[in-house]
Structure 1
Amino acid sequence: MNNLAVNNLSLVFAFSLVVVSLGIVYKEKLGLEKDIIYSVIRAIIQLVIVGYILKYVFNINNIILTLVMMFIVFFNASYSAYKKSAGIPHSFQISFIAIFCSTSVTLGLLLLAGTLKFIPSQIIPITGMIASNSMVAIGLCYRNLNSNFRDQRQQILEKLALGADLKQASYPIIRESIKTGMSPTIDSAKTVGIVSLPGMMSGLIFAGVDPVFAIKYQIMVTFMLLSATSISSITVCYLSYKQFFNDKKQLR
């Protein structure tokens, strides 16, 4: 095992990296100083709180508490995705359904395969990984849906006038939005191991695990995230496109 350790002094030295970022922002007059300081302080507070909570949850090893933590992850990820919807009706509920479906299906398959055990030290981190990637995919889908329904308004109206139903008029936008949501994960999978050594693999290697053994976990994560982003993207797009029409099937 490696003797690597992160202590308070090393964190103080690491803070100099934030100072570098602040220096660049100040020099270029980007006006992001307050955002950087706020985000750093918030990240530290959140991580400290979560660290102590997870330590408690892991020690208790209670199924109900684990499910509560999973629900909290679902809720926060759904709320973050909802804020990116730019006013799409019912986007919070849609985001929650999409994240719940993608996480449940992915975790269910991994549990059935025996890859994971339903214990908080495994389920909660993996749930967070799946939900966060689904959240990003959903945000991209919302952005693409909004821009395309705005830019292609005339084409959609013409299709509706010619007798197309809502799905037929919207299908090119739905398909393009699903591709947009999935693209970052697909691109990441193409370069994993060549350009980047992702978090789980790097963490295991830092902990002294055999790199060949760590690779197996990263392959599992790659499959897991591809599944999650595809499920969340298709779910959110097919639940969202009708929100761009009113009760009379007219484009809003």
Structure 2
Amino acid sequence: MQLPAMKPEPFMSNETALSLDWFNLALAVPLVMVAMALSWWQRLGLGKSLFIGAVRATVQLLLIGQVLVWLFTTNKWYLVLGVLLVMVIAATFAATNRLEQIGSRMSLRFLCGGAILIGSAVTMAYLDLVVVNIDPWYDPRYLIPIFGMIVGNAMNGAALAAERVRSEFESRREEIEAGLALGASPAQASARAVRLAMTAALIPTINALAVVGIVSLPGMMTGQILAGADPTQAVHYQLIVMFMLTSATAITSVLVTIWYRKRFFTRAEQLIDLD
């Protein structure tokens, strides 16, 4: 059975969705230049980063557009899974590049990558097999865009969780050491720090759930409406998206905090020096 939203709906507009060409894309470039100008005006030093980011985004999206055309044509499950794996690896590097690690950078990447993979895969599998029943299960037209949203949010959850764990351990060092001195296990002594890190990683997701539909109309819903879909059907789509992103972020954040916590203690159950 195909995704429900792809079936013809009575409400479907007769109007054709807006078609954007290279001229429209060129007209959007000044929007980035505004940010660059503001950076130059306030001496933020971000002009080069904004320029490189805009170029990278353009090149990457144009390339992935061609890759998607090829995948839609070939429709092979192993190629689709290969693309999903590349997405997880890229998300892992993006999540860990700016983190101050405990131990080696590679071990931190394995930790975050494993959490991102599990959080994304579990959420995607449930969504694919239970909620929307994609047929075939590996259909790249659905699997790749949906997984991209999931892994992107899992990446943010992993980065926030890892950064907050270190911050909490630094600020609560004396509290944790006091707990260890009184006979508490590392897990018990750091329980409060870990809970606070998990909470911090989930706050953006909770905020998004609280304001969706009031402050913002997210991308999935906006795209459906612009394509002429029934707003009610677009709402169904968006709710599913919000719920799946919440799941992926929560699973990933919890795994990162639990696994990363262990890096802050020696085998003798002593808190390591963070200076």
TM-score bracket for the superposition, by shorter chain length = over 0.9
1:93 to 98, 110, 118: 110
TM-score, normalisation: structure 1: 0.96
Match of 2:267 among 242, 247, 250: 247
1:167 is matched with 187
1:55 to 69, 80, 94: 69
Matching residue of 1:219: 239
Runs of 4+ in 1 over 6 A off after TM superposition: none
Aligned to 2:10: none
Question: Given residue 72 of structure 2, which amino acid in structure 1 is its aligned partner?
Answer: F
Matched residues, number:
252
Pair 1:30-2:50 in alignment: no
| C-alpha deviation, 1:100, in angstroms | 1.3
1:108-156 CA-partner distances (Å, limit 9, x unpaired)? 2112324141211111111111111011111111111111111111111
Please state if 1:115 is matched with 2:132: yes
Unpaired segments ≥5 residues, structure 1: none
More helix by share: 1
Q: Which runs of 5+ in 2 are unaligned?
A: 1-14
What is the percentage of aligned positions where both structures have the same residue?
35
> What CA distance in whole angstroms lies between the structure 2 residues aligned with 1:20 and 1:83?
27
Q: Are the equivalent residues in 2 in contact too, given 1:116–1:123 (CA < 8 A)? A: no
What is aligned with 1:13? 27
SS of residue in 1 equivalent to 2:190: helix
How much has 1:188 moved relative to structure 2? Answer: 0.3
Residue of structure 2 equivalent to 1:192: 212
Query: Which moves more between the two structures, 165-174 or 102-111?
Result: 102-111
- Tell me the TM-score normalised to structure 2 length: 0.88
**What is the letter of the counterpart of residue 179 of structure 2?**
K
State whether structure 2 residue 122 is matched by structure 1 residue 102: no
RMSD value, Cα: 1.2
Q: Assess, with a 3 A threshold, how the Cα gap between structure 1 residues 159 and 201 changes in structure 2: closer, same or farther.
A: same
* CA deviation profile, 1:159-197 (whole Å, cap 9, x unmatched): 111100010011101111111111101100110011101
Question: How far apart, in 2, do the equivalents of 1:235 and 1:30 lie?
Answer: 36
Q: How far off is 1:93 after superposition? A: 1.2
